[in-house]
């Protein structure tokens, strides 16, 4: 997992999202799951779990993309320790986190993506990133 905002926001993959003990050890209270191809995760009842099944490319429902971004924004603004995860933790989760940060920090989508990409390996789908920008731009 990569910590984006200390004690508030992490990016991870499907395997990390399923390690409940590690999540609880970090104090993570919410998981935003973006991986359409992964089975839903069963968490203890005090863990908030939001699943937005997105594909890593074009063809996503704009309302689902917007809901994933808005949910991430709300958790960040509420200081809720949150993991945003997708299958590999390399495309959908960094892209959704970057979009949320762009809105919160009132910065460009490109600057936010560069900030997130500097934290570790990434391979953001160009078509998915274009969809995010179309949905999230006011």
Band the pLDDT of 138: cuts 50, 70, 90.
low
Domain that includes residue 42, residue range: 2-136
Q: What is the mean pLDDT of the chain?
A: 96
Domain of 37, CATH number, reads: 3.90.190.10
pLDDT of 76-113, one tens digit each? 999 999 999 999 999 999 999 999 999 999 999 999 99
Task: Identify the burial level of 130 via C-beta atoms within 10 angstroms of its C-beta, where 0-12 means exposed, 13-18 middle and 19 or more buried.
Answer: exposed
Average pLDDT over residues 12-31: 97
Confidence of residue 137 (pLDDT cuts 50, 70, 90): confident
Task: Write out the DSSP string of the chain.
Answer: -EEEETTTEEEEEHHHHT-HHHHHHHT--EEEEEETTSPPPP--TTSEEEEEEE-SSS---HHHHHHHHHHHHHHHHTT--EEEEESSSSSHHHHHHHHHHHHHHT--HHHHHHHHHTTS-----HHHHHHHHHHH--
- Band of residue 136 on the pLDDT scale cut at 50, 70, 90: confident
Question: What's the number of domains the chain is made of?
Answer: 1
């Amino acid at each position: 997992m990569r910590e984006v905002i200390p004690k508030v926001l992490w990016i991870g993959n499907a395997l990390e999202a399923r390690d409940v003990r590690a999540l609880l050890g970090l104090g993570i209270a919410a998981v935003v799951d973006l991986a359409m191809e992964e089975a839903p995760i069963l968490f203890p009842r005090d863990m908030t779990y939001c699943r937005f099944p997105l594909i890593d490319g074009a063809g996503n429902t704009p309302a689902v993309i917007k809901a994933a971004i808005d949910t991430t924004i709300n958790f960040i603004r509420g200081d809720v320790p949150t993991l945003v995860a997708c299958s590999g933790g390399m495309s959908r989760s960094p892209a959704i986190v970057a979009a949320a940060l762009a809105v919160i920090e009132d910065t460009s989508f490109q600057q936010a993506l560069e900030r997130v990409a500097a934290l570790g390996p990434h391979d953001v789908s160009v078509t998915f990133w274009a969809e995010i920008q179309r949905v999230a731009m006011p």
